[in-house]
């Protein structure tokens, strides 16, 4: 498989929304250990918006479709998740030249989303945030697509594995952002809820192929 289509991406977004709907209570419970216990509520609402925006806009060109998703995400009023994932989806819109993408273009599509996320997040690897699973997932995806086999399914499987590994590693980290920041070393041993959400999302992406 060497072409990535808008239809595949739409199916991925809907699968991710369904996965988060299944997991939102466990995500809130994870967040309660180091934050204020509502990450699951916020990410669930955000992904429900992604699901609805996908249905409403999937007939538009890919670039307009993802920008419409981004606007709906930002309108969710979900604390830091709105600007973070809003910027992530807005980033996709900067590298969506057609409704069918080559492996190289698919890599650039996801790298643009990561760049959008970076533009607002300021978090680095090891800061115990969504970045800890998102960046390894997208970097792995891009390198599989450009330097590896170029096979779309293999690349998303590898990205999902990288996201899971990144989320697992957050247990070792002290938080630098968000409400867990002031916990210091007491945050060690707890897996970050945001990184776990991104893990579920990439896992769902891979499951559709």
Partner 1 sequence: MKKFINDPNNLTNELLQGMALAYPRKVKIVDEKLVVRAEAKSSDKVAVVSLGGTGHEPAVQGFVGKGMLDVCAAGDIWAAPGPPTLLAAMKEVNREAGMLLVTLNHAGDVMSANMAKQMAEAEGIKVVEILTTEEVRPTADEEGRGLGGCFFIYKICGAAAEQGKSLDEIAALANKINDNMATIAVLSELATHPSTGGVCGTLGDDEMEICAGQHGEGGGVVMPMASSKETVKILADKIVEKKGLKSGDEIILIINGSGKTTLMEQYIAFKDASDYFTDKGIKIVGGHASEVLTVQEAGGYQMIVLKADAEIKELWEAPCDTPGYTVQ
161 touches partner 1 by CB under 8 A: no
Regarding 103 and contact with partner 1 (CB under 8 A), the answer is no
Give the chain's radius of gyration (CA, Å): 16
Pick the closer one to partner 1 by CB: 147 or 185: 185
Please give the Cα distance from 25 to 23 (Å, whole number).
Answer: 6
- Chain positions 106 to 125 lying near partner 1, rule: CB under 8 A, are 120
93 interacts with partner 1 by CB under 8 A: no
Name which position in 14, 63, 68, 86 contacts partner 1 (CB under 8 A).
86
Q: Does 178 bind partner 1 (CB under 8 A)?
A: yes
Stretch that binds partner 1, among 9-17, 36-44, 107-115, 158-166 (CB under 8 A): 36-44
**Two tokens at 87?**
């910027």
List the one residue out of 100, 169, 102 whose CA is nearest residue 134.
Answer: 169
Among 14, 17, 35, 159, binds partner 1 (CB under 8 A): 35
Q: Where are the beta strands (DSSP E) in the chain?
A: 4-5, 100-101
3-state secondary structure string across 65-100 = HHHHHHHHHHCCCCCCHHHHHHHHHHHHHHHCCCCE
Compute the distance between CA of residue 178 and CA of residue 79 in angstroms, rounded to an integer: 10
**Cβ atoms 49, 57 nearer than 8 A:** no
- Identified binder of partner 1 from the candidate list 4, 19, 78, 106, rule CB under 8 A: 78
Nearest to 152 by CA among 93, 83, 102: 102
Q: How many residues does the chain have?
A: 209
Q: How far is the CB of 28 from partner 1 (least distance, A)?
A: 5
Choices 21-29, 96-104, 106-114, 159-167; region in contact with partner 1 by CB under 8 A: 21-29
Within positions 124 to 143, which residues make up the interface with partner 1, using CB under 8 A? none
Query: Is there binding between residue 64 and partner 1 (CB under 8 A)?
Result: no
* Least Cβ distance, residue 153 to partner 1 (angstroms): 34
Give the residues lining the site for partner 1 (CB under 8 A): 25, 28-29, 32, 34-38, 40-42, 45, 71, 73-84, 86-87, 120, 177-184, 186
């Amino acid at each position: 498989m060497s072409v990535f289509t808008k239809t595949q991406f739409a199916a991925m977004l809907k699968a991710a929304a369904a996965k988060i709907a299944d997991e939102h209570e466990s995500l809130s419970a994870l967040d309660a250990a180091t934050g204020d216990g509502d990450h699951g509520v916020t990410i669930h609402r955000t992904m429900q918006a992604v699901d609805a925006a996908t249905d409403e806009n999937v007939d538009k060109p890919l670039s307009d479709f993802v920008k419409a998703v981004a606007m709906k995400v930002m309108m969710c009023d979900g604390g830091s998740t709105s600007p973070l994932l809003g910027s992530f989806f807005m980033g996709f819109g900067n590298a969506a030249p057609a409704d069918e993408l080559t492996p190289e273009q698919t890599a650039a599509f996801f790298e643009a989303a990561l760049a959008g996320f970076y533009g607002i997040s300021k978090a680095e690897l090891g800061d115990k945030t969504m970045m800890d699973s998102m960046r390894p997932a997208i970097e792995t995806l891009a390198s599989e697509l450009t330097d590896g086999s170029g096979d779309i399914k293999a690349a998303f499987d590898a990205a999902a594995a990288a996201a899971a590994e990144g989320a697992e590693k957050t247990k070792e980290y002290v938080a630098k952002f968000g409400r867990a920041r002031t916990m210091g070393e007491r945050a060690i041993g707890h897996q970050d809820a945001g990184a776990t959400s991104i893990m579920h999302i990439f896992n769902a992406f891979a499951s559709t192929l």
